[in-house]
Amino acid sequence: MSSTVLQLVLTGILAFYLAGNLGANDVANAMGTSVGSKAVTLRQAIVIAGILEFTGAVLFGQGVSATLATEVANPELFAGMPQVLILGMVSVLIACGVWLQIATSQGWPVSSSHAVVGAIAGFSWVAAGFGAVDWANIGRISCAWVVTPLVSGALAAGFYSLIKYSILDKPNPIRQLREWIPWLSATLLGVFGIIVLPTIFERPFFASFPLPAHDLPIATGAAAAVALSIFSWHQLARFTSTPTLSSKTSSSPIPNPVERQLGKFQVLSACFVAFAHGSNDVGNAIAPLAAIAYIIRTNSVPLTGFTVPLWILILGGSGIVLGLAVWGKKVIATIGENIIPLQPSGGFCAELATATTILLASRIGLPVSTSHALVGGVVGIGLVQNWKSLRFQTLKSIGLAWLITLPVAGGLGALIFVCLRLLFLPG
């Protein structure tokens, strides 16, 4: 085996390790509220998230990878020393994998994006000086830590208050739900259609379509909303035409008929969050490997516009799925059960708020965290239901994990880089 192939194999193993820990932590966020509200079982959540995360990662995971590989640190400063950049990216893989594994073992939902950015900044500072880091970008990320949960929490509280007032607290909530299904469908598919579909319709394949690319997501989202409305009406009509099952005779884990119907919406919202998350956050696991593969192949440093090979996307997607299946239970429990008890109505609102927050932040160019948005959404639901039921000890642990992720990952990245440089580039 040649040294080049050996390098790729070893870094591929490290990237798979990081992707596994990312799946166990970040992907668990997307399904935590659905499991906590009993809209799906843990096994179903793993299957759903596994399929959609893998699909999103493989089909649409190019963009974030390129950004992380070329825009956090200044690649021009490493143009004359590509081997240093290789060691730096290896340091990132090890540092982020270790930190995410520690966080997952404690059930802390941390941000893999911040861990990767912190590790890249840490090794870059040691390797090429203070100016090698884009500190303005680091500052924007830090601001997003504070803003994201606040915005998501406010939106979730607003969505849940509307559903509570318009459906849950009414004398005949099933009839009210029948009237609200079109609006819930349009909101759900509209938000997620705008998040996910623009990435799809930017592909050259759609250039020949009669509609402009920016109109296709709106048209498709509207069509999907109508289809979901018809399906939901049909399902609700079938359900309400039979005697209401009591909690003693129903085999469903959600005996309340209104919550059971809202659980269907929540499953869909969780699916879209998982797909969108896979398409964006797989870059956290594979960007360092993609940069290393580029350097080995071209003997130069990636500057702009480089593409990620398909095998690297598949590797990252596979690692995410395996990590979720093997280690994701603790973080799912933290998000879905240990902050506040959830029903599907609350879980649906938390996920809808999360998606809306991500969309708004994307429009103004702010990097956001799925875990921050979901935790904020769940807290927003808790404030509307009963703030005394919030488990503040859990929130304290989560907040501490958020605060220390960037400096811990940065310190680990720098320390590991120094050790590797002493071992492999002693001169």
Sorted by where each begins, the domain ranges of the chain are 3-424
* pLDDT computed for residue 61 by the predictor: 65
For the chain, percent of residues with pLDDT exceeding 90: 22
How many angstroms separate the CA atoms of 139 and 149, rounded?
Answer: 17
Under the banding of pLDDT at 50, 70 and 90, the label for residue 47 is confident
Residue 56 half-sphere exposure toward CB, CA atoms < 13 A? 28
* pLDDT computed for residue 152 by the predictor: 93
How many angstroms separate the CA atoms of 332 and 43, rounded?
Answer: 12
The conformation of residue 252, written as its DSSP 8-state character, comes to S
Q: Which residue has the higher pLDDT, 296 or 242?
A: 296
**Averaged pLDDT of the chain:** 79
Looking at the predicted structure, is the pLDDT value of residue 58 above 60?
yes
* Averaged pLDDT for residues 35-62: 77
Q: Which residue has the higher pLDDT, 210 or 273?
A: 273
Q: Where are the beta strands (DSSP E) in 120-259?
A: none
Q: List pLDDT tens digits, range 217-273.
A: 455 555 555 555 555 555 555 554 544 444 444 455 666 888 888 888 888 788 777
Give me 265's structure tokens. 């919406």
Lowest mean pLDDT among 76-85, 206-215, 226-235: 206-215
Looking at the predicted structure, is the pLDDT value of residue 91 above 80?
yes
Under the banding of pLDDT at 50, 70 and 90, the label for residue 73 is confident
Could you tell me if residue 133 is left (phi over 0), alpha (psi between -120 and 50 degrees) or otherwise beta?
A: beta
In the block, which residue shows the tokens 């623009």?
198
SS3 (DSSP) at 209 = coil
* pLDDT computed for residue 70 by the predictor: 74
For the chain, percent of residues with pLDDT exceeding 70: 78
How many angstroms separate the CA atoms of 276 and 55, rounded?
Answer: 10
* pLDDT computed for residue 63 by the predictor: 66
SS3 (DSSP) at 215 = coil
Q: Where are the beta strands (DSSP E) in 71-165?
A: none
Looking at the predicted structure, is the pLDDT value of residue 213 above 50?
no
The conformation of residue 121, written as its DSSP 8-state character, comes to H
Cβ 53 vs Cβ 269: under 8 Å: no
* Averaged pLDDT for residues 138-166: 89
Looking at the predicted structure, is the pLDDT value of residue 33 above 50?
yes
What's the pTM? 0.80
Lowest mean pLDDT among 75-84, 203-212, 224-233, 314-323: 203-212
* Closest C-alpha to 110, from 119, 120, 121, 100: 100
Lowest mean pLDDT among 71-75, 80-84, 194-198, 326-330: 194-198
Cβ 327 vs Cβ 106: under 8 Å: no
CA angle at 145 for the pair 144 and 148, rounded to the nearest 5°: 65
Q: List pLDDT tens digits, range 393-422.
A: 888 888 888 889 989 999 999 999 999 999
Looking at the predicted structure, is the pLDDT value of residue 335 above 50?
yes
Under the banding of pLDDT at 50, 70 and 90, the label for residue 17 is very high
Looking at the predicted structure, is the pLDDT value of residue 367 above 50?
yes
